[in-house]
């Protein structure tokens, strides 16, 4: 399983769908599963119950998704999924975690008209994203096996970068360590 982490609006869902298609595996989005479970939007739940209650639900659903036998091949997570150490440990143990790194400026450009992101419904979304990135970047890096710059190029370009890094990681873990050799010619 491949799990995508990163800031809200960094492209986890878009890139996840494309990556799953390229790898011929299923795609899952933890936020969609959470909304189905709650019977309402994340924003609505967030507004009425608060962030702590939402993070409890998120932790429960993420744990279920990571331990399912027929889990999605690629799973996009919510931007704050890394805030809980239990989530980070579960993701790192169950999957190859890819951190899609994008600058706050690029995220604002991408999501300026999106009203579904509760943490960005503030007077100054750019400042909010800068603060969130300062709080979360180390957590994304802690959980990630791979970091990919997802702020430049098309979604297809980012998928190609991820695919190349996954191939390199697979070769390093399985190929080189199991007596495989590379023909220098």
Was 84 annotated as part of a binding site? no
Was 11 annotated as part of a binding site? yes
Was 10 annotated as part of a binding site? yes
| CA-CA-CA-CA torsion sign (128, 135, 40, 99) | positive
| CA-CA-CA-CA torsion sign (58, 62, 68, 70) | positive
Was 136 annotated as part of a binding site? yes
93, with CB counted inside 10 A (0-12, 13-18, 19+), is exposed
23, with CB counted inside 10 A (0-12, 13-18, 19+), is middle
In the structure encoding, which two tokens stand for residue 157, read together? 């370009």
Was 117 annotated as part of a binding site? yes
Was 9 annotated as part of a binding site? yes
Was 137 annotated as part of a binding site? no
Dist CA 69 CA 77 (whole Å): 18
Was 12 annotated as part of a binding site? yes
Binding residues: 9-14, 31, 55, 79, 117, 136
Binding residues for substrate: 31, 55, 79, 136
Binding residues for Mg(2+): 13
Binding residues for ATP: 9-14, 117
């Amino acid at each position: 399983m491949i799990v995508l982490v990163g800031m809200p609006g960094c492209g986890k869902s878009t890139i996840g769908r494309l990556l799953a298609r390229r790898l011929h595996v299923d795609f899952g989005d933890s936020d969609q599963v959470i909304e189905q479970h709650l019977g309402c939007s994340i924003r609505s739940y967030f507004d009425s119950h608060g962030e702590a209650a939402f993070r409890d639900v998120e932790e429960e659903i993420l744990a279920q998704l990571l331990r399912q036998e027929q889990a999605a091949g690629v799973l996009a997570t919510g931007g704050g999924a890394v805030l809980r150490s239990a989530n980070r440990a579960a993701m790192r143990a169950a999957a190859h975690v890819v951190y899609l790194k994008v600058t706050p400026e690029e995220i604002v450009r991408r999501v300026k008209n999106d009203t579904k992101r509760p943490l960005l419904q503030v007077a100054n979304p750019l400042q909010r994203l800068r603060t969130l990135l300062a709080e979360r970047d180390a957590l994304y890096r802690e959980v990630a096996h791979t970091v990919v710059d997802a702020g430049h190029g098309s979604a297809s370009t980012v998928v190609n970068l991820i695919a190349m890094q996954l191939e390199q990681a697979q070769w390093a873990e399985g190929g080189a360590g199991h007596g495989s050799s590379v023909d220098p010619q």
